[in-house]
Structure 1
Amino acid sequence: MMPAMDHLDAAAIERLVPVARAVQILEDALRAGLDPEATPRRPVVELPAGQLLLMPAAAGRYAGIKAVTVAPGNPGRGLPRIQGTYLLFDGDTLAPLATLDGGALTSSRTPAVSALAVRHLAGPDARELVVFGTGPQAWGHVVALGAVRPVERVTVVGRDPGRLEDFAARCRARGLTTRALRGGAWDGDRAAREELAEALSRADLIACCTTAREPLFPGKLPRDGATVVAIGSHEPDARELDGDLIARATVVVEARSAALAEAGDVVVPIRHGTITTGHLAGNLADLIAGRVRTGPGPRVFKGTGMAWEDLVVAAAAYEAWNAGKG
């Protein structure tokens, strides 16, 4: 009979792999030669209530797979939009080792990946952040970007007044100067649009963490040198950034193969002829290795989420868990 496996819940993952540690282990994996382009493509199964994503990967001493669901109707029921389970295997014997909370793993590694990109793209004095969204990923990005840059001021943009104020209060509790702007995809009144335009034109960092399917703001607004992160979509027809911004930016993606299949932020401008595939400046491995040359405009990191990131963070959590049992 197989021995009982350990299960790492959300609290254990957060404790065992804090965001600064997650950023570093992701960078270490890339520096050790992990190739994001070699990660298997994830099957996406459409379901009546949403999607089922299967994300397998193998690297070093481990292999693993995340089965995660995306249920757009869940927030209205008071349930998480993203749920799932991760199964970690030994890389040599393929024996199962542990299960992990898949939603918590996603909430941990996605902001860490963005923070890794920001660490190599943004200026060292980036202090002003605009974040779109009020969910777990938006909060994770406030924390993660603050771990790699001296963020002092945050403008949060959201639709739900209650969630927006709760989010702003959490930012203030971290000592951040915070303002909350109600609105969606550039659909507020004139005064709100002007206030948001001013915030975007000043921002050093912009994090887009929404379920929007259309661009959130005009691409002319971010200033040259600003760094924009977009992680809200993994579908070729959904995007948070418009073609104008992508065309004037240095664009870095997790992997070219994944971005060209799943990232509407780059797929749509390619389809429209705004850019070509050659506009992509490189993937995360290129960025870490110093092979990305930034231009005079904004810098964009577009993430869709990849299985190698889950594996690296899950393996680190498992090793820390085992070390704590000794």
Structure 2
Amino acid sequence: MPLVLTRTDLTGLVTPADVVAVVEQAFADLADGTAAQAPLSVAALDDAAHFLPMTAVSGRAGLAGSKLLADVPGNRQRGLPAQRSVLVLADAHDGAPVAILDGGLPTRLRTAAASAVATRWLAPDDARVVGLVGAGGLALEHVSALAAVRPVEHVVFWTRSDATAATLAAQVGARHPDLKVTRVDTPAAAVGSADVLCTLTPSREPVVRGEWFHPGLHVNVVGAPPRPDHREVDGEAMRRSRIVVDSVSTALHESGDALLAVAEGAIDADACRTELGDVVTGRAAGRRSADEVTLFDSVGLGLLDVAIGRLLVDAARAAGRGLPVDLSA
């Protein structure tokens, strides 16, 4: 019988290392052709609210799934999340419904895990300082996921919000008491201190500039919504980096970081044709030198939601969580 799983049901079911493992395998499956990803499309009546069905099927998970992502910037003025989502999973063989999940926690977990997979393959082995530009809902999960793949000792972060800064410092202290946590005054300071930088903002204009990059830096650009006019880093950041994307078709359709850099002439589209799955499977190189600057550009894949959905549903059933509902009754 299908399960309905709330955010409370999903909390604490899996470890960051568990999520990183299934997400890494999902990238490999996509490269190997044992999983399929539908083209990303947008339904919108105006520019204010975008609705994106993110659909994929995984032979390994035995599931097909679609996450309906609602990107509604005006929600911030209403005191509501700008992004909301629900994930529906079905049996890949007979189409039977398997589960309906609140999409918030799975999205945060798989976004952080994707950054961790990119960090595992592209960042220096001895990376110890994580820099965060943005300290909202993605930040804590990024710290935990990156700590699962690198010997993290210090988290340096920038945010405009005093309240968000206090919350993140308390959360990291509670979950990772051995880590040093420092708030800095500017995004440039976060970049300058970092071995691995994560941009986690819903920005329309660049908050990080390539002129701040230093040799050996790895950057995960994962915060902006899938809108071609939103970007977190400027064209110089893209030009100075070796770029790896989650999906070529998605990046060249919905990533403002990529599309605007191409439009400005900072890079050409061929600079965005290496996928992380090809790196994971050995079809493309990982980090090539100590001084190389690498950048992972991601707006998210439905396949990762399906992969983590399998993990969460199995864990929920084992823990006796969720509400079984007969949808055919």
TM class by smaller structure: 0.7 to 0.9
Instruction: Supply the AA of the counterpart residue of 2:278.
Output: D
Pick closer, same or farther for the CA change 1:219–1:162 going to 2, 3 Å. Answer: same
C-alpha RMSD of the superposition: 2.3
Match of 2:299 among 304, 308, 313: 304
Instruction: Supply the AA of the counterpart residue of 1:299.
Output: T
Tell me the equivalent position of 1:46: 44
Instruction: Supply the AA of the counterpart residue of 1:235.
Output: R
CA distance in structure 1 between the aligned counterparts of 2:12 and 2:18, rounded to whole angstroms: 10
Q: Secondary structure at the match of 1:251?
A: strand
Question: 1:101-116 residue pairs with structure 2 within 5 A?
Answer: 101-116=102-117
Q: Secondary structure at the match of 1:45?
A: coil
- With the length of structure 2 as denominator, give the TM-score of the two structures: 0.87
Q: Secondary structure at the match of 2:211?
A: coil
Deviation per CA, 1:157-194: give whole Å up to 9, x if none: 1112222222223233322222223xxxxxxxxxx45x
Pick closer, same or farther for the CA change 1:16–1:167 going to 2, 3 Å. Answer: closer
Moved more, 217-226 or 249-258: 217-226
Structure with more contact order per residue of length (Cα contacts < 8 Å, sep ≥ 6): 2
- Stretches of structure 2 that go unaligned for 5 or more consecutive residues are 321-329
Match of 2:23 among 23, 26, 45: 26
- 8 A contact 2:66–2:302 mirrored in 1: yes
1:273: how far off? 1.6
Instruction: Supply the AA of the counterpart residue of 2:204.
Output: R
Instruction: Supply the AA of the counterpart residue of 2:4.
Output: H
- 8 A contact 1:255–1:283 mirrored in 2: yes
CA distance in structure 2 between the aligned counterparts of 1:82 and 1:275, rounded to whole angstroms: 30
Q: Is the aligned partner of 1:256 residue 2:248?
A: yes
CA distance in structure 1 between the aligned counterparts of 2:254 and 2:27, rounded to whole angstroms: 22
1:30: how far off? 3.5
CA distance in structure 1 between the aligned counterparts of 2:44 and 2:253, rounded to whole angstroms: 16
1:37: how far off? 9.4
Tell me the equivalent position of 2:279: 287
Question: 1:179-218 residue pairs with structure 2 within 5 A?
Answer: 179-181=182-184, 192-193=185-186, 196-218=187-209
- 8 A contact 1:282–1:292 mirrored in 2: no
Tell me the equivalent position of 1:178: 181
Pick closer, same or farther for the CA change 1:29–1:170 going to 2, 3 Å. Answer: closer
Count the aligned residue pairs: 311
Deviation per CA, 1:285-312: give whole Å up to 9, x if none: 1110231254543110011011111111
Deviation per CA, 1:31-85: give whole Å up to 9, x if none: 3455499411232222565222211111212111111212223344443332221
Instruction: Supply the AA of the counterpart residue of 1:163.
Output: T
Moved more, 303-312 or 209-218: 209-218
Q: Secondary structure at the match of 1:68?
A: strand
- 8 A contact 1:252–1:280 mirrored in 2: yes
1:279: how far off? 1.7
Tell me the equivalent position of 1:186: none
CA distance in structure 1 between the aligned counterparts of 2:94 and 2:173, rounded to whole angstroms: 49
Moved more, 112-121 or 26-35: 26-35
- 8 A contact 1:59–1:91 mirrored in 2: yes
Over the matched positions of the two proteins, sequence identity in percent amounts to 33
- With the length of structure 1 as denominator, give the TM-score of the two structures: 0.87
Match of 1:272 among 261, 264, 270: 264
- 8 A contact 2:165–2:183 mirrored in 1: yes
Moved more, 240-249 or 73-82: 73-82
Q: Secondary structure at the match of 1:85?
A: strand
Tell me the equivalent position of 2:145: 144
Q: Secondary structure at the match of 2:90?
A: strand
Instruction: Supply the AA of the counterpart residue of 2:42.
Output: V
Tell me the equivalent position of 2:97: 96
Question: 1:3-22 residue pairs with structure 2 within 5 A?
Answer: 5-22=2-19
Tell me the equivalent position of 1:58: 57
- Stretches of structure 1 that go unaligned for 5 or more consecutive residues are 182-191
Q: Secondary structure at the match of 1:73?
A: helix
Tell me the equivalent position of 2:121: 120
Instruction: Supply the AA of the counterpart residue of 1:116.
Output: V
Match of 1:219 among 210, 214, 226: 210
1:202: how far off? 2.9
CA distance in structure 2 between the aligned counterparts of 1:30 and 1:131, rounded to whole angstroms: 24
